[in-house]
Amino acid sequence: MRVCRGGADVAARTRRRHGRIRRVTVTESAPAAPPAAPVAAATRHRVVIVGAGFGGVACVRDLVRDQRLDVTVIDRNPYHLFSPLLYQVATAGLPEDDIAHPVRAAVRGARFRRAEVTGVDPDQRVLTLADGSTLAYDTLVLATGSVGNDFGVPGVREHAMQMKSLPEARRIRHALLRTYEEVAAGTRAPAALHTVVIGGGPTGVEVAGAVAELQRALSREFPELRGQAEVDLIEMGPRILPTFTPASSRHATDALRRMGVQVMTGSAVAEVTDVDVALADGRRLAAGVVVWASGVSVPEPWASLGETAAGGRLRVAASLQLRPGIWVVGDMAYAVDGRGRPCPQQAPFAMQGGRHVAQQIRRELDHQPPTPFRYRDKGQMATIGRARAVVELPGGLRLFGTPAWLAWLALHLAYLAGTRNRISVVGDWAWNYVAWSVGSPRPLTE
Ligand SMILES: Cc1cc2nc3c(=O)[nH]c(=O)nc-3n(C[C@H](O)[C@H](O)[C@H](O)COP(=O)(O)OP(=O)(O)OC[C@H]3O[C@@H](n4cnc5c(N)ncnc54)[C@H](O)[C@@H]3O)c2cc1C
């Protein structure tokens, strides 16, 4: 693994030197500085974790057990979001409360502050918050995740919808449901019932399948519009689910097509407008709703804190340290697995990284050297629709169809935070399973 400036090797070197930390700008090389001083008995070491997502929560849960630490978690939202189920909120399968868990309940033992972090001064070890206040730390853990990346495609920002947050999922749901009302009322053309999903990764596949099922359910409520709704899934590469085996990609493609989704591979998007999506080969697809599920990047101010890899991910040392006093976990960290491949921007990498960094912080207080992070591959899975999914486990075990879907349900329930949420999701899923074919499964509030 490539060791970035300010990484563990630098930390070890500077620890020997006992130098003073210098102010760092984006273009400077690594600061020669010691890690935060060991705590005196009366002064607890201040750890600040930015981001209460998968990485941040895993880290804080491990840290709060150490009495030497004073742990503060900061997040712009007061809830921990279970993003793997966002697409079900976007397609009216689950109410949004089911996938949001109060951060304060998730990080008991730590202080929680709801705030937007806008800057960091790594020399002074101070964070700046959006309200203008500052917060000092001894050790900082960055776990702010990623944001959608439009790759500069014209019109994406204005006319396509990303799905990284609850408000964005809510917006998609509103757009999908409102379009039916507007077309039925004659205020919009029937072509607006076409939905285009861009990006054939797991999120795009899940959204496309769920939209197809929603369209089928809505055709019972809007019989006059039956047969007019469509969903297209567009992927630039030669196959959908590119990180899965070709067999899983084929299975997903066939299953989606049977559900009525037009799967278009090898199709690059050139532009998105308010009425259609233009492909690089000149075709134009009518679209009332466009969902952009194609790639993520790390936002400012974080990307300027160190050397970056693809998608703006911060290159970290083997221990996940960015520079003395700063650790990075989750989507924003670029680390490699045992075979030299980039660790995936997925929840298991974030959680494992969070726990590893918690261990490193304690080791540092004990004057022990850092240890390298080892990513444990948990496999990958994508749901395609009800009773349809693909699962690939380490060791080559593959599941398709209903067994895969049941495994997907069990795993998502296990990782969902909060007993209330689990019970509620099970209830909603059970009802939906029955209701998709006979009744009205979706939450009716808009
Ligand atoms: C739609 C969707 C589906 C997904 N499905 C799966 C899946 O099935 N399986 C899987 O393993 N992974 C899935 N992922 C990826 C997974 O969600 C991420 O890899 C994981 O959330 C990364 O964890 P994290 O801790 O790095 O960031 P996040 O979990 O995104 O948490 C980041 C936190 O930081 C906060 N934050 C960000 N910036 C600031 C700031 N400036 N100030 C204060 N707070 C801030 C955010 O509010 C958020 O709470 C999916 C992602 C999406 C969007």
CATH at 270 = 3.50.50.100
* Mean pLDDT taken over the chain: 88
Q: Among 308, 340, 365, which residue terminates a domain?
A: 365
Tally of domains within the chain: 2
pLDDT score recorded for residue 127 = 96
Ligand 1 closest atom vs CA 163: 1
Half-sphere exposure of 340 (CA within 13 A, CB side): 1
pLDDT score recorded for residue 12 = 34
pLDDT score recorded for residue 395 = 85
Task: Kindly tell me if the per-residue pLDDT of 21 is higher than 70.
Answer: no
3-state helix, strand, coil in the chain (%, to 5): 35, 20, 40
Q: Ligand 1 pocket: which residues have CB below 6 Å?
A: 50-56, 74-77, 81, 83-84, 86-87, 116-117, 143-145, 163-164, 202-203, 330-331, 345-348, 350
| Percent of the chain with pLDDT strictly greater than 90 | 74
Q: Among 323, 340, 365, which residue terminates a domain?
A: 365
Task: Kindly tell me if the per-residue pLDDT of 441 is higher than 80.
Answer: no
Q: Side chain identity at 145, as an amino acid letter?
A: G
Alpha carbon distance 181, 79 (integer Å): 32
Q: What is the pLDDT of residues 298-347, one digit of tens each?
A: 887 788 899 999 888 999 999 999 999 999 999 999 999 988 999 999 99
Q: Are residues 323 and 248 in the same domain?
A: no
Structure tokens at 179: 């379009």
Alpha carbon distance 236, 199 (integer Å): 7
Ligand 1 centroid – CA 52 distance (Å): 9
pLDDT score recorded for residue 312 = 87
96 occurs within a structural domain:
no
- Which range, of 18-27, 167-176, 233-242, averages the lowest pLDDT? 18-27
Q: Whose CA is nearest to atom 6 of ligand 1?
A: 84
pLDDT score recorded for residue 427 = 87
If DSSP codes are grouped into helix, strand and coil, which group holds residue 286? strand
pLDDT score recorded for residue 35 = 47
Per DSSP, 320 falls in state S
Of 4, 42, 62, 1, the residue nearest 324 (C-alpha) = 4
Higher per-residue confidence, 22 vs 179: 179
Test site for ligand 1: of 346, 351, 390, most ligand atoms within 8 A of the Cβ: 346
Q: Whose CA is nearest to atom 7 of ligand 1?
A: 84
Ligand 1 centroid – CA 83 distance (Å): 6
Q: Whose CA is nearest to atom 20 of ligand 1?
A: 347
Test site for ligand 1: of 59, 60, 75, 83, most ligand atoms within 8 A of the Cβ: 83
Name, in order, each residue with C-beta under 8 angstroms of 43's C-beta and a sequence gap of 6 or more. Answer: none
pLDDT score recorded for residue 184 = 94
Ligand 1 centroid – CA 85 distance (Å): 12
258 occurs within a structural domain:
yes
Q: Are residues 40 and 129 in the same domain?
A: yes
Q: Are residues 401 and 274 in the same domain?
A: yes
Give CA 22 to chain center in angstroms. Answer: 34
Q: Are residues 131 and 63 in the same domain?
A: yes
- Reported as a pLDDT band with limits 50, 70 and 90, residue 27 is very low
- Which range, of 9-13, 47-51, 107-111, 180-184, averages the lowest pLDDT? 9-13
- Reported as a pLDDT band with limits 50, 70 and 90, residue 443 is low
Of 71, 69, 72, 73, the residue nearest 52 (C-alpha) = 73
Higher per-residue confidence, 430 vs 364: 364
Q: What is the pLDDT of residues 49-84, one digit of tens each?
A: 999 999 999 999 999 999 999 999 999 999 999 999
Q: Are residues 240 and 287 in the same domain?
A: yes
Question: Which pairing describes strands 289-292 and 139-142: parallel, antiparallel, or unpaired?
Answer: unpaired
pLDDT score recorded for residue 442 = 60
Higher per-residue confidence, 386 vs 284: 284
Q: Are residues 388 and 277 in the same domain?
A: yes
Ligand 1 closest atom vs CA 145: 27
- Which range, of 94-98, 246-250, 256-260, averages the lowest pLDDT? 94-98
90 occurs within a structural domain:
no
Ligand 1 centroid – CA 423 distance (Å): 23
232 occurs within a structural domain:
yes
180 occurs within a structural domain:
yes
pLDDT score recorded for residue 6 = 34
Mean pLDDT calculated for residue range 192-217: 96
Structure tokens at 30: 């690594």
- Reported as a pLDDT band with limits 50, 70 and 90, residue 438 is low
Ligand 1 closest atom vs CA 115: 43
Question: Which pairing describes strands 321-323 and 326-328: parallel, antiparallel, or unpaired?
Answer: antiparallel
- Reported as a pLDDT band with limits 50, 70 and 90, residue 25 is very low
Q: Among 330, 365, 400, which residue terminates a domain?
A: 365
Task: Kindly tell me if the per-residue pLDDT of 434 is higher than 90.
Answer: no
Q: Are residues 30 and 169 in the same domain?
A: no
Ligand 1 centroid – CA 227 distance (Å): 36
Alpha carbon distance 34, 15 (integer Å): 5
Alpha carbon distance 210, 173 (integer Å): 11
Ligand 1 centroid – CA 216 distance (Å): 30
DSSP letters spanning 95-162: -GGGGEEEHHHHTTTSEEEE--EEEEETTTTEEEETTS-EEE-SEEEE----EE--TT-TTHHHH-B-
Q: What is the pLDDT of residues 91-105, one digit of tens each?
A: 988 999 999 999 999
Look-up of token digits 């705590």: 39
Mean pLDDT calculated for residue range 176-198: 95
Q: Give the domain range for residue 121.
A: 8-76+115-148+296-365
Test site for ligand 1: of 88, 144, 381, most ligand atoms within 8 A of the Cβ: 144
Ligand 1 closest atom vs CA 347: 11
Ligand 1 centroid – CA 54 distance (Å): 7
Q: Are residues 282 and 319 in the same domain?
A: no
pLDDT score recorded for residue 32 = 39
Of 348, 318, 319, the residue nearest 331 (C-alpha) = 348
Q: Are residues 132 and 247 in the same domain?
A: no
Residues catalogued as catalytic: 206
Q: What is the pLDDT of residues 124-180, one digit of tens each?
A: 999 999 999 999 999 999 999 999 889 999 999 999 999 999 999 999 999 999 999
Contact 241, 250 (CB under 8 A): no
Task: Kindly tell me if the per-residue pLDDT of 36 is higher than 80.
Answer: no
Task: Kindly tell me if the per-residue pLDDT of 38 is higher than 70.
Answer: no
Of 59, 345, 2, the residue nearest 201 (C-alpha) = 345
Q: Are residues 410 and 429 in the same domain?
A: yes
105 occurs within a structural domain:
no
129 occurs within a structural domain:
yes
What is the domain-level CATH number for residue 325? 3.50.50.60
Q: Are residues 322 and 280 in the same domain?
A: no
In this structure, the dihedral spanned by the alpha carbons of residues 204, 209, 211 and 215, taken in order and rounded to 10 degrees, is 160
Higher per-residue confidence, 27 vs 316: 316
87 occurs within a structural domain:
no
pLDDT score recorded for residue 270 = 97
Structure tokens at 14: 């500077």
Q: Whose CA is nearest to atom 4 of ligand 1?
A: 84
Ligand 1 closest atom vs CA 87: 1
Q: Whose CA is nearest to atom 3 of ligand 1?
A: 84
Higher per-residue confidence, 12 vs 70: 70
Task: Kindly tell me if the per-residue pLDDT of 373 is higher than 80.
Answer: yes
Q: Are residues 231 and 303 in the same domain?
A: no
